[in-house]
Amino acid sequence: MATALRILCVHGVGQHPPGGAWQQAWEAAIHEACRQVDAERALDIQYCHYDDIFAQHKVGLGDTLEALARLLANGITAPFRRARGDDSRLRHTAGMVVKWVESPTFRKQTRDRLVERIEAVKPHVVLGHSLGSLVCYDTFTHEESRATASGRYFVSLGSQIGNPFVRGEYQAGRLSAIEKARFWYHLYNRFDSVFTARVSIAADNFRQVDTHFDIPGNADHAAEEYLRHPQAVSTFWYDVLNDETARITRALREQRPVSARVATPRKRALLIGINDYPDPDQRLAGCVNDVFLMSAMLQEQGFDAGDIRVVLDERATADGIRERVDWLLDGVRSGDQRILYYSGHGAQLPTYGLGDRVDRMDETLVPYDFDWTEDTALTDDWLFERYVQLPYDVDFSILLDCCHSGGMAKGGPARMRGLNPPDDIRHRALKWDAAREMWVPRELEVAERKQLAVDQDTMPLGDMSGRLGYALPVRTLPLGEARQLRKALGHKGPYMPLLVYACQEGEFAYEYEHGAIQHGAFTYALVKNWRRMLRGGAGDRRRLKVSDLVKYTSQELRELEYDQTAALAGPEIRLSRWM
Q: Which domain holds residue 203?
A: 5-259
Q: How many domains, in total, are found in the chain?
A: 2
Question: Do 20 and 153 have their domain in common?
Answer: yes
Question: Do 213 and 304 have their domain in common?
Answer: no
Per-residue confidence (pLDDT) for residue 312, from 0 to 100: 97
Residue 220 included in any domain:
yes
pLDDT digits (tens, 9 = 90+) for 166-186: 998 899 889 999 999 999 999
b/e for 33-42, b at 16 or more Cβ within 10 A? bbeebbeebe
Per-residue confidence (pLDDT) for residue 396, from 0 to 100: 95
Residue 63 included in any domain:
yes
Residue 424 included in any domain:
no
Question: Do 145 and 280 have their domain in common?
Answer: no
Per-residue confidence (pLDDT) for residue 61, from 0 to 100: 65
Per-residue confidence (pLDDT) for residue 486, from 0 to 100: 86
**Burial class for 259, CB neighbours closer than 10 Å (0-12, 13-18, 19+):** exposed
Question: Do 287 and 225 have their domain in common?
Answer: no
CATH of the domain at 161: 3.40.50.1820
Name the amino acid, one letter, at 247: R
Question: Do 228 and 254 have their domain in common?
Answer: yes
CB 302 within 8 A of CB 361: no
- pLDDT beneath 70: ranges in the chain: 1, 61-70, 72-89, 217-218, 244-264, 352-360, 405-416, 437, 444-467, 469-473, 537-542
Residue 328 included in any domain:
yes
Phi, psi (rounded to 5 degrees) for 510: -105, 165
Residue 561 included in any domain:
yes
Residue 85 included in any domain:
yes
Strand pairing class (498-501; 567-569): antiparallel
Bridge partners (DSSP) listed for residue 514: 517
Phi, psi (rounded to 5 degrees) for 563: -85, 70
CB 453 within 8 A of CB 496: no
pLDDT digits (tens, 9 = 90+) for 114-126: 999 999 999 999 9
Question: Do 168 and 35 have their domain in common?
Answer: yes
Domain closes at, from 223, 240, 259: 259
Question: Do 182 and 303 have their domain in common?
Answer: no
Question: How many helical (H) and strand (E) elements, i.e. helices and strands, does the chain have?
Answer: 21, 19
Per-residue confidence (pLDDT) for residue 473, from 0 to 100: 67
Alpha-carbon span 420 to 401, nearest angstrom: 17
* pTM for this entry: 0.83
DSSP label at residue 237: I
DSSP label at residue 372: S
Domain closes at, from 259, 289, 318: 259
Quote the crossing angle between the two packed helices 546-559 and 521-536, to the nearest 10°.
130
Alpha-carbon span 206 to 488, nearest angstrom: 23
Question: Nearest to residue 338, comparing CAs of 401, 390, 383?
Answer: 390
Question: Do 200 and 233 have their domain in common?
Answer: yes
CB 33 within 8 A of CB 232: yes
Per-residue confidence (pLDDT) for residue 413, from 0 to 100: 44
Question: Do 287 and 324 have their domain in common?
Answer: yes
CATH of the domain at 458: 3.40.50.12660
Question: Nearest to residue 208, comparing CAs of 385, 395, 396?
Answer: 385
Question: Do 219 and 101 have their domain in common?
Answer: yes
Domain closes at, from 224, 259, 294: 259
Question: Do 293 and 230 have their domain in common?
Answer: no
